[in-house]
Amino acid sequence: MDIKPIHTNVVVKPISQDEVTKSGIVIPDTVDKERPEKGEVIAVGEGKLLDNGQHAAMSVKVGDIIMFKKYSPDEIKIEDEEYLVISESDILAIINK
């Protein structure tokens, strides 16, 4: 896949989060059909254009695992893969491994 988001947009591959109950039963993420709030950064834009003509550095990079606002991303499909496009301002945190 070769995709380059523009400005402060970020392309994210969602990470599904299966839930496990205390008794060990796995509840797949498809049960409640909620959007994931966590994903891996696949591509980043060049950053916000500043008044001096330069771009501000993005706070995330390819490979980062991020948390984001639940209803902020736009869903896209490329080569039968689901991705999310999200604005950098809707990213809440970077998860360190």
Q: What does pLDDT average to over the chain? A: 84
The answer as to whether 1 is a domain residue is no
Q: What is the pLDDT of residues 27-48, one digit of tens each?
A: 665 545 555 689 999 999 999 9
What domain range is 55 assigned to? 9-17+25-95
The answer as to whether 4 is a domain residue is no
- Tokens at 18, concatenated: 């299966």
The answer as to whether 2 is a domain residue is no
Q: What is the pLDDT of residues 57-70, one digit of tens each?
A: 999 999 999 999 88
CATH code for the domain of 89: 2.30.33.40
pTM higher than 0.85:
no
Locus of tokens 């945190």: 93
Pairing of strands 74-78, 81-87: antiparallel
- Tokens at 17, concatenated: 């989060």
The answer as to whether 78 is a domain residue is yes
User: Domain total for the chain?
Assistant: 1
pLDDT value of position 34: 59
